[in-house]
Chains A and B, each alone.
Chain A
Amino acid sequence: GEDVEQSLFLSVREGDSSVINCTYTDSSSTYLYWYKQEPGAGLQLLTYIFSNMDMKQDQRLTVLLNKKDKHLSLRIADTQTGDSAIYFCAEGAAMFSGGYNKLIFGAGTRLAVHP
């Protein structure tokens, strides 16, 4: 079945780069996503990558996809205290009936940024 795994915790110093890793199992996933969740709030889409791409850069965010190893990573450059949150990796498992996008989420990586 589908499964998404992430490390649970990452601590970085302010100004350093953060790298959050994720592995997934469904090779038919069309899109892979990174969401951010701040305390008590819903999820905010940060970025996504189409499965036929290797890399996507969006300002301070860089997503790398290794489709052979089913490995996804999110790099945050110049990490700030405001980046402290839980980051969720998700794979889009397109349903055969209607092609609707069912997202499978990992358990989330808690990023702590310290001075």
Chain B
Amino acid sequence: EAEVAQSPRYKITEKSQAVAFWCDPISGHATLYWYRQILGQGPELLVQFQDESVVDDSQLPKDRFSAERLKGVDSTLKIQPAELGDSAMYLCASSSLGLGEQFFGPGTRLTVL
């Protein structure tokens, strides 16, 4: 069964360092989402791509976060510099249509010390 892949699964870093997360969506899925899930809360959308274009990044803290999906397939989310409050689970999801079911990856758990 096709799955959304994410790496790394766990990342520990010190504040002010740079971190990057990678996501490979299900093959053929044009829409890709990055969510942040703080412990005890539900996921919050950070950025949404349709192919290689950003369609919603209204909740992305653009002073330190960046996301790209250069060829419209896999995607990278970067944080530079990391802050203590960035500790969270970062989830990637993909869907085949803009209104379609979103399939989630296992997430990357980030701990900032």
Show the binding face of B for A, using Cβ within 8 Å.
4, 31, 40-45, 48, 50, 55-56, 91, 93, 95, 98-107, 109
| Residues of chain A in range 69-115 having any CB-CB distance to chain B below 8 Å | 88, 90, 92, 94-95, 97-103, 105-108
Say yes or no: B98 contacts A90, CB within 8 Å.
no
Interface of A is mostly: strand
Give the total number of A-B pairs whose CB atoms are below 8 A apart.
65
A-B residue pairs in contact (CB < 8 Å), sample of 20:
A4-B42, A40-B109, A41-B107, A42-B93, A42-B104, A42-B105, A43-B93, A88-B43, A90-B42, A99-B98, A99-B99, A101-B95, A101-B98, A101-B99, A102-B45, A102-B48, A103-B43, A103-B102, A105-B42, A107-B40
* Bound: A88/B93 CA distance, A: 15
Contacts of B104 in A (CB 8 A): 35, 42-44
